[in-house]
Amino acid sequence: MGVRVPAKLVPTENLRQSLDTNQYEAAEGFLVREHLPSGVTVLELGACMGIISSLILSRKPTRLVSVEALPNMAKIARRVVAHNYPRAPWELVMGAVGPIGVKEADFYWCNKFYTLSGGIVPRKPIPFLMRVSVVTLADLIQRHSIPVNSWLVMDIEGTELELARNQAPALRHFVGIIVECHDTPEGAFVVSQAEVLAALVDAGFTIICTQNGTSVLRRNS
């Protein structure tokens, strides 16, 4: 998708194969390039390796603030973005977005499918846990001065449902959302794409298009 990733930064063989075959986050990357306007502020939840961050920066945003909970992924993201857009208006924030009133949470991580991934554990304890700091979406907006009518890009492994159900006013700060979610087991629980999209519609958004687990939504006027 036009992002250069130094081979030494790729942490797993599965991920290397996914990159070699142009499968890694292909739908999300395509929809970012097709639907994300240029010249807007973007908040990205779940930076992972910084590949989608780089694609967002290729759209020449006014500013990009990316949030990542896993320290090892944040290190890679910084190097990938520096390799592609060294002077871009980009800020990487450590932590996770989560429920209102929660300051810290268990966060699982695993080498699943093609990449390292993780998410807040809302139910049963599972292996590979770490503690991470948690902020609400409204906190992020305020702390980082995200202007109204910005865009939100998120891939946060099921926590999208929490935002849609319980933090809708903060979501409506954004004029558009690009969200990746799948009907995929996440540790001891499952969050379906249909649940997430239905909750986002209830929160005041209209689905513009969906492709392979990634959707573009616009805020209702």
Q: Is residue 171 part of a domain?
A: yes
Spatial CA neighbour of 146 closest among 119, 182, 171: 171
Enter the pTM of the model: 0.89
Q: Is residue 1 part of a domain?
A: no
Q: Which two tokens stand for residue 149?
A: 């009518």
Q: Is residue 58 part of a domain?
A: yes
Interatomic CA distance for residues 127 and 182, integer angstroms: 21
CA angle 186, 176, 190 (to 5 degrees): 15
What CATH number has the domain bearing residue 31?
3.40.50.150
Each residue's pLDDT tens digit in the chain (221 positions)? 889 988 888 877 878 888 888 888 889 999 999 999 999 999 999 998 999 999 999 999 999 999 998 888 899 999 999 999 999 999 999 998 988 988 887 776 665 433 444 555 555 555 566 778 889 999 999 999 999 999 999 998 778 988 999 999 999 999 999 999 877 554 445 678 898 999 999 999 999 999 998 999 999 98
Interatomic CA distance for residues 35 and 37, integer angstroms: 6
Q: Is residue 78 part of a domain?
A: yes
Q: Is residue 2 part of a domain?
A: no
Query: What DSSP assignment string belongs to 13-75?
Result: HHHHHHHHTT-TTHHHHHHHHHHSPTT-EEEEE--TTSHHHHHHHHT--SEEEEEE--HHHHH
Q: Is residue 90 part of a domain?
A: yes
Please count the structural domains in the chain.
1
Q: Is residue 166 part of a domain?
A: yes
User: Tokens 């959707």 appear where?
Assistant: 215
Q: Is residue 143 part of a domain?
A: yes
User: Tokens 């961050």 appear where?
Assistant: 53
* Domain extent for 198: 7-219
